[in-house]
Amino acid sequence: MATTIGYLGPKGTFSKIAVDSMFNGEIKKGYKTIPACIDAIEKNEVSYAVVPLENTIEGTVNLTLDNIIQTENIKIVSEVIVPIRQHIMVHPSNVAKWKEVTAIYSHPHAIAQCHRFLRNQFSHLEAQSMTSTGAAAEYVSNHPKEISAAIANHLAAKEYGLSIVEKDIHDFENNHTRFIVLHKQETALTSNKLEEKGYKTTITVALPSDRPGALHQVLSAFAWRNLNLSKIESRPMKTGLGNYYFLIDIEQKMDNVLIPNAIAEIESLGCTVNVLGSYPYYLHSGNGVTLAV
Amino acid sequence: MATTIGYLGPKGTFSKIAVDSMFNGEIKKGYKTIPACIDAIEKNEVSYAVVPLENTIEGTVNLTLDNIIQTENIKIVSEVIVPIRQHIMVHPSNVAKWKEVTAIYSHPHAIAQCHRFLRNQFSHLEAQSMTSTGAAAEYVSNHPKEISAAIANHLAAKEYGLSIVEKDIHDFENNHTRFIVLHKQETALTSNKLEEKGYKTTITVALPSDRPGALHQVLSAFAWRNLNLSKIESRPMKTGLGNYYFLIDIEQKMDNVLIPNAIAEIESLGCTVNVLGSYPYYLHSGNGVTLAV
């Protein structure tokens, strides 16, 4: 039986780019929300789920974290980092007159990310909000007579038969979204298509109480072992404002000595530690954009 | 002349709740995106701008941070923390039959936040996406014959004349959004309506290079001075993947000795420090919800 992969749909979104870069012939099923996607793993509707963790267009990291942390048995087994590249695209019959478009559609976050481009090139138009960049591309594809454009990624252009007329119109370079692959077993998922960039171990640490210097003590346990932390982020706990836990990425594969010892010491300080996964990460090239003009 | 305040529109959003709690008779102008809102201050179209910084429905913190950090002269002068409470509401003529609604509309993030409620009570329906919770409320208000519901906040119910039929339907309690007030002068903005919960100083610290233990050294400068850090978050720099700066909230008002000395020491380690503001923060009660059933 083919493996089923859940992802944050619809087609033509950055989530789908991440899924396609990690999985080949499997059945891919789009879900409307992040919790629905994570639910689907819990209920064994899907074997893997691909959801955004950081810096995303379609959803927020909070929803992903809140929902993983509630589950006992779901682990992060892989990560794909996808460059967020936004392009402007029109129906093929409107390529020649694309600068005269009368409407531009996209997701509100994508519109915000292309603020400078829109202000410089189309200051007379007000971009119209759609529920996703994919939905915007679909609308433009279905209304060729309207002479409208969508802001979306190259996969959306392909899925909906649109022509990209100007590429990389987003304001900031080096904008990426981290997508994580979730699974019920702790078995790392390796890619045969992408080059491995490294290995990470992600943990959460809840401090016993909000006292000055507690975090400093926790970091000492990593620092003197030369364990490099590539990310540290405080997140509000669900027990009330002002209580935080920390999400920490250790730039190393889980071993038998260093990381377990650091965790044991942190726990002996009264902290609660939860290992969310130890997994390889991959960088998507972001290539595949063809200009129509 | 009345002061003009910019905020992330439309009416009936959580941003508007934050604005109304801080400002009284002034002119309030809704902007479609966070960058447009911040642009408006730079161009002196507005004197203050209220934008979400963390854990938000309508936008992402990344857009806010990216855009503040690009500006030299815009400071955080106040903060309002608003509880994110989602309610289900219908047209007043449909209150009696609200359990038979045939469609539910909301913003995709709000739909995701009410995942369990929807699964338990309306598993036969698929919630429909709108561009904002306010837009969903407006639609339901304009289509009384459809027997539909919107998921939105109490302000949206009031703005669009809808009746709340079940309150607090979101999955997680203690869900809040931090809204910051931006201004061109470094003058703290105090509220005469809300109780002051404390004072914060927010700084960014860019480490000279990605080496193990660098962050630990930075935190030492705060720890031995008993300066409590209520938030620390690594953020990707725009110079490429793997380069991070840190966003740090110090739970104290800027003084003449402790914080400046800590910053001077951190800078002498080769770090770049930027003070985004020193400001009071307020907690909105979240009250004002009236049930129709």
Are B219 and A219 inside 8 Å of each other by CB? Answer: yes
Task: Please indicate whether residue B164 or residue A213 has the higher confidence score (pLDDT).
Answer: B164
The 3 state secondary structure assigned to A39-106 is HHHHCCCCCEEEEEEECCCCCCHHHHHHHHHHCCCCEEEEEEEEECCCEEEECHHHCCCHHHCCEEEE
**pLDDT tier for residue B280 given thresholds of 50, 70 and 90:** very high
- Chain B, nearest residue to A116 by Cα: B35
Q: Is the predicted pLDDT of residue B59 greater than 70, yes or no?
A: no
Q: Is the predicted pLDDT of residue B208 greater than 80, yes or no?
A: no
Chain B residues with CB-CB distance to A176 below 8 A: 236, 241
- Domain B87-166 in CATH 3.40.190.10: yes
**pLDDT tier for residue B99 given thresholds of 50, 70 and 90:** very high
Residue ranges per domain, chain B?
A: 4-83+176-283, 87-166
What are the pLDDT tens digits along chain A (293 aa)? Answer: 579 999 987 778 888 889 999 998 889 999 988 899 999 999 999 999 999 888 666 666 778 888 888 888 899 999 999 988 999 999 999 999 999 999 999 988 889 889 999 999 999 999 998 888 888 999 999 999 999 999 999 999 999 999 999 999 998 876 788 899 999 999 999 998 898 999 999 999 988 765 566 788 898 899 889 898 888 888 776 665 556 788 999 999 999 999 999 999 999 988 999 999 999 999 988 776 777 76
Highest averaged pLDDT of the listed ranges A89-93, B132-136, B266-270: A89-93
Q: Is the predicted pLDDT of residue B196 greater than 70, yes or no?
A: yes
Is the CB of A124 inside 8 Å of chain B's CB atoms? no
Contacts of B272 (CB under 8 A, 6+ apart): B205, B206, B245
Q: Is the predicted pLDDT of residue B55 greater than 80, yes or no?
A: no
CATH H-level, domain B4-83+176-283: superfamily:
ACT domain (3.30.70.260)
Task: Please indicate whether residue B167 or residue A293 has the higher confidence score (pLDDT).
Answer: B167
- Chain B, nearest residue to A178 by Cα: B241
The pLDDT assigned to A198 comes to 94
The B residues from 77 to 116 touching A (CB cutoff 8 Å) are 81, 108-109, 111-113, 115-116
Are B32 and A126 inside 8 Å of each other by CB? Answer: yes
Task: Please indicate whether residue B168 or residue A61 has the higher confidence score (pLDDT).
Answer: B168
The pLDDT assigned to A241 comes to 56
Are A131 and B126 inside 8 Å of each other by CB? Answer: no
Phi, psi of B213, deg, nearest 5? 90, -10
Phi, psi of B98, deg, nearest 5? -65, -25
Tell me whether residue B173 is exposed, middle or buried, using C-beta atoms within 10 angstroms of its C-beta: 0 to 12, 13 to 18, 19 or more.
Answer: exposed
The pLDDT assigned to B58 comes to 62
The pLDDT assigned to B84 comes to 87
Contact B121, B149 (CB under 8 A): no
Are B112 and A219 inside 8 Å of each other by CB? Answer: no
Do B4-83+176-283 and B87-166 share a fold?
Answer: no
